[in-house]
Amino acid sequence: MTPAVSAKLLELTNDLNNEVKLSAIYALGESASATPAHVNRLLALSSDLNHNVKVAAIKALGRITRPKQA
């Protein structure tokens, strides 16, 4: 993932539209790019007041840290 894409996804996790936020969270999880910024943002979102955001962040944390398949 390029730095520009990473920055944009992190920015979109603050969007007021929850669908946009959820999509950005999903993309971070699928990126398998467990940078400190990504992990910290997902950890923060895992305590979001919105249940769907919270669950998506927790799932993304699981996906972002999974071993890469050969």
* pLDDT the model gives residue 7: 94
The answer to whether residue 69 sits within a structural domain is no
List pLDDT tens digits, range 26-48: 999 998 788 999 999 999 999 99
Q: What is the pLDDT of residue 67?
A: 72
Residue span of the structural domain in which 11 resides: 3-64
Query: Based on the structure, what is the number of domains in the chain?
Result: 1
Looking from the CA of 12 toward its CB, the CA atoms found within 13 Å total 16
Q: What is the CATH number of the domain that holds 47?
A: 1.25.10.10
- What integer pLDDT is reported at residue 70 of this predicted model? 59
**pLDDT of 19 above 80:** yes
Q: What is the pLDDT of residue 6?
A: 92
